[in-house]
Structure 1
Amino acid sequence: MRRVVGFAAVLLLAGCSGASGGDAPAADAPEGIRVEVVAAGLEHPWEIGFLPDGRMLVTERPGRLVLVDGGRSTPVRAELGDVVARGEGGLMGLVVHPDFATSKRFTTCFNTAQDVRLVTFELDGTEARRVRDPLRAGLPSNPSGRHSGCRLALDEAGGLLVGTGDTAKASAPQDRDDLGGKVLKLDLATGEGGVLTYGHRNVQGIAVRADGTVFTAEHGPDVDDEVNVLEPGANYGWDPSRGGTADGYDEGVPMTDLERFPDAVPAVWSSGSPTEAICDAVFLTGERWGDLDGTLAVTALKGSKVLFFTVTAEGGVHSVSIPEELDGTHGRLRGAALGPDQALYLTTSNGSDDKILKVARG
């Protein structure tokens, strides 16, 4: 796959840049997009998980869980006193277990005073108790919360994918023994597993296509946010240590340093300059999306927009479009999830009166 993906990326680099601001051609803004607010009054909602009955379980970065049903938000009582919310860190990733209908379990990812860790809870009404505490501990954390990663997703086989940030530690991305700057693949029941890919800066989105292909969205420094396609064992080329020769955390290196690492996997899309601070990612699927069925939707924090990527069967990016209804209209956009009704649900991350948006077509 690596050579095919790389070839697709090279073709796109030769294309013209458009309104997308990146290295793929811009497409016309999609028509017929409708946006409505389904919940408000939240504070930095980070992740949405849908329960089998259609309710949303939502993490708030300061260290709270809420259930959203019919526009009403209900606090979930849970022991979250060890969550440390500083800077980019706090209570972040969440994944609802595939067997939730019987197990009532979900797993969260958050910063503590010592580390980033995964904890599995069991939901009973509006109370959640810890049942795997921790599921996995010892993921690195910066005291400031910088580059905390913490995005969770399930692969096609039910394995737990965890995006980690490099915690602004220069050596972490290329050090296979350091869990920072990686995508991990873990057993959802036991937490066992290890590094799937390395050489990342700060993975903020993971989306698994129906055929099992895994796409990630990743923050660049002042240039080159990236959309990547994961290949097990591959290096994605971020090395702010410059092979151990840099004094400190050198953000002037390429996001994918093909000179230092010729076998590194090139991004299938790069923002160039300026960055968008791309975040969560999810595939739009279902008849209601029409010709957008199969589109990769990626939120942007700094860019305050959603980017729609048309992706090829081989894993390349054919074109990028930006819905006018989601371009600078709701501030910073973070979380993205596809609901059981096939609608796209987004979270804003403005810090006060944050919202959950429902995006549909037609």
Structure 2
Amino acid sequence: MRALLAGLVLVTAACSTPEPGGNAPSKAPAPQGLKVEEVAAGLEHAWDIGFLKDGSLLLTERPGRMKLVKNGQVTPVDIKLDDIQVRGEGGLMGLVIHPDGQRFTVCFNTTKDVRLTTYRLDGARATKTKDLVTGMPSNSSGRHSGCRPTLAPDGTMFVATGDIAQGRNPQDKASLGGKVLRIDAETGEGAKDNPFIKSPNANERRIYTYGHRNVQGVVVRDGGQVFSSEHGPDVDDEVNLLKAGANYGWDPSKGGTQGGYDESVPMTDLKRFPDAVEAVWSSGSPTEAICQAAFWNGKLAITALKGSKLMLFTLDGDGKVQNVSIPDELNDKYGRLRAARTAPDGSLYITTSNGSNDKLLRLTGDV
């Protein structure tokens, strides 16, 4: 595939450290020899990426389109997304390729819900096989729609969801909003060893963690640690190390006593929830609007929308952040960055999300 890619730019990377705030990291050694290649352009809010066995890839665009990138060509995928609603932050979002290399699951808003639907790909045509999960809450404005699926090594699927800006959802285990789910990738039911698997409520059986605001990324580290990346309100974007059954402390309803959506509460409210799990990193102020997360060359790579940068987190074995580096070549050079997926060849693919002439980029080199 490398020979098919155009627009190679070779640069020598530098790094900087975010402004102090939250869990401020130390300065990292400068990355060296980072290469940025433009694979495709002319996209619109490219939301997620999946790699096929023949070396080509699929990507989703929030306005409800899919593209197949193969042999240097970008081809629209013929797909029917039943009752899709594209508005604000909502539309066609996350994508995951199944191990058979023929099926994929996407997440999108409808007029009734946010849902996960599985399709089979034949050339550039996709045929629906089943709705995997329905009933995830959806805001008619599209706000805080989530929704990011990722396959785990054991074959289960993690699904990061947003709280749709409804205050009671994050702490309500009957709601799938403001959660990280873990489901059987074939049936959509809760994974058999989930923390609430004995609950009589099917939604609660799907829950892995709760008390989240608007999770934009979830990724599994070699060895089994699971991390999420999450939008804060006006402060405290968070990177969280997920623990099965844990509460991450977001509660804009203040225990159901507050109407509306009070965003002045802490992202992790330890006063209300003393056992809530604190973030391994938070942005403090200003927020970066961090987005998708992927492990790349041993580091946790996270894109930023508002921050218009790629953030590279060095973690220790316990999942604690040691330092953060920001490559200059992606620091406010391409605008808002959204998707991040590690390719089978070890490179990192990311997308821009500016709304017009968005790009698919491939990164290689030492970081």
TM-score normalized by structure 2? Answer: 0.89
Report what 1:86 is aligned to: 87
| 1:226-245 to 2 correspondences below 5 Å | 226-245=238-257
**Cα displacement (A) at 1:19:** 2.9
Report what 1:7 is aligned to: none
Report what 1:142 is aligned to: 139
- How has the CA–CA distance of structure 1 residues 165 and 276 changed in structure 2, closer, same or farther, with 3 Å as cutoff? same
For the Cα contact (< 8 Å) 1:237–1:258, is it kept in 2?
yes
**Cα displacement (A) at 1:240:** 0.3
Report what 1:290 is aligned to: none
Report what 2:341 is aligned to: 337
For the Cα contact (< 8 Å) 1:277–1:300, is it kept in 2?
yes
| Deviation digits for residues 86-141 of structure 1 (CA, Å, limit 9, x no counterpart) | 000000011000122xxx11101000000000100000111000001x11100000
Identity %: 62
Report what 2:125 is aligned to: 127
| 1:43-192 to 2 correspondences below 5 Å | 43-100=44-101, 104-132=102-130, 134-192=131-189
**Cα displacement (A) at 1:18:** 3.9
How many residues were matched structurally?
334
Which residue identity lines up with residue 159 of structure 2 in the other structure?
Answer: V
**Cα displacement (A) at 1:341:** 1.8
For the Cα contact (< 8 Å) 1:20–1:321, is it kept in 2?
no
For the Cα contact (< 8 Å) 2:82–2:110, is it kept in 1?
no
**2:282 maps to 1:270:** yes
| 1:190-269 to 2 correspondences below 5 Å | 190-193=187-190, 194-269=206-281
SS in 2 for 1:357: strand
**Cα displacement (A) at 1:31:** 1.8
RMSD: 1.2
**Cα displacement (A) at 1:21:** 4.8
Question: Equivalents in 2 of 1:297, 1:169: separation in Å?
Answer: 29
| Deviation digits for residues 313-360 of structure 1 (CA, Å, limit 9, x no counterpart) | 111111101001110010000000111221110000000010000111
Report what 2:40 is aligned to: 39
Pick aligned residue for 2:316 from 312, 324, 334: 312
Which residue identity lines up with residue 90 of structure 1 in the other structure?
Answer: G
Question: Equivalents in 1 of 2:19, 2:326: separation in Å?
Answer: 7
**Cα displacement (A) at 1:245:** 2.1
Unaligned runs of 5+ in 2: 1-15, 191-205
Unaligned runs of 5+ in 1: 1-16, 285-292
Question: Equivalents in 1 of 2:68, 2:364: separation in Å?
Answer: 21
Question: Equivalents in 2 of 1:159, 1:26: separation in Å?
Answer: 36
For the Cα contact (< 8 Å) 2:241–2:279, is it kept in 1?
yes
Which residue identity lines up with residue 120 of structure 1 in the other structure?
Answer: T
For the Cα contact (< 8 Å) 2:42–2:356, is it kept in 1?
yes
